[in-house]
Homo-oligomer: A and B are copies of this chain.
Amino acid sequence: MSHDANLDAASAGRGRRAALDWLLHSPLALPLVGLIVVSVLMGFASDNFFTVDNILNVLRQVSVVGILAVGMTFVILTGGIDLSVGAVMALAGTMAAGIMVNMGLPGGIGLLTALLVGLGLGLFNGFMVAWGKMPSIIVTLATMGIARGLGLIYSGGYPISGLPGWVSWFGVGRVGIIPVPVIIMLVIYAVAWVVLQRTPFGRHVYAIGGNETAARLSGVRTRSVKLAVFAISGVTAALASVVLTGRLMSGQPNAGVGFELDAIAAVVLGGTAIAGGRGLILGTLIGAVLLGILNNGLNLVGINPYMQDVIKGLIILLAIYIGREWR
């Protein structure tokens, strides 16, 4: 008996040490700790925070930026950046809405339009970066302006409303109690996790961020991989536009201004190195939720909206500062 108890204690000790070890070494550890700390603080500050309803609410709010951040993670892992995601999302949503409302085409075509717009602009970015050898920050900055302009031209500046009712399912529907946007987001994260961790392509994404020359000289098709990550970012922007359009029930050419910065913040808060090569997609999910909790919590606590910007900035700085040693 005492023997058994000893064994148990030892294995518990080992378990604890293993957990500690993991905590000190996993790139996910720090984002998780941040998430927990901020959640607990918010829970103390507002009684309404830890309700099932509010947690689902946060996740639903997070979904759009969360989906954008998936593509952003791919791009940042290769050492690039995509400033165009917000604008591409707005253009995809506006054109999809336009196709359905103004041309009366069926919803499937609308969805397809959104995806094609996202894919097309993503390929354009990727082509300019990979074959044009231009820095991604500049290419996507230009694409951002182009996509915004096109969206406004297409819609004439008016939001496009009058969408068929089922579109709202993507934004406000629920399966059981789980909001549809949350399900869409989680599915996208699951797919991204598989792609990054279980496929050769995923390895190549990391390799390019780690040492592009080495990857290229060893025979990795670095240009194709770079094309692909920007295409993925375009597609996730299109998927985000589906959720957003469902939430707003209209195509908004000026939606998503500044979302690219939120997506970048989510990726970096999630522990991904901005220089590429290191990071986990689950970290991005945690980062996105952390940002969402900040927005939600500061609202719940009733902080002056101007002050919210300041507090958010400080918390991001603090989180990255503490996290820099882990990376």
Contacts and interface: CB of A to CB of B under 8 A. Distances in A.
A105 interface: no
Given A275-B135, A320-B138, A312 B265 contact: no
A289 B294 CA distance: 41
Interface residues of A, number: 42
A325 B208 CA distance: 22
Contacts of A138: 264-265, 268, 274, 316-317, 320
A132 interface: yes
B145 A309 contact: yes
Interface stretch (A65-73, A148-156, A189-197, A230-238): A148-156
Contacts of A307: 149, 153
Contacts of A313: 142-146, 149
Contacts of A133: 324
Interface in A124-150: 128, 132-135, 137-139, 141-146, 148-150
A199 interface: no
Which label, helix, strand, loop or mixed, suits the secondary structure of the A interface?
helix
A261 B145 CA distance: 11
Contact of A153 (B264, B310, B321): B310
Contacts of A51: none
A48 interface: no
A137 B80 CA distance: 12
A265 B313 CA distance: 25
Nearest to A145: B313
Nearest to A262: B141
Contact of A306 (B152, B314, B316): B152
A104 interface: no
Given A137-B264, A141-B261, A152-B306, 7 more contacts: A128-B321, A133-B324, A138-B265, A146-B309, A149-B309, A149-B310, A153-B306
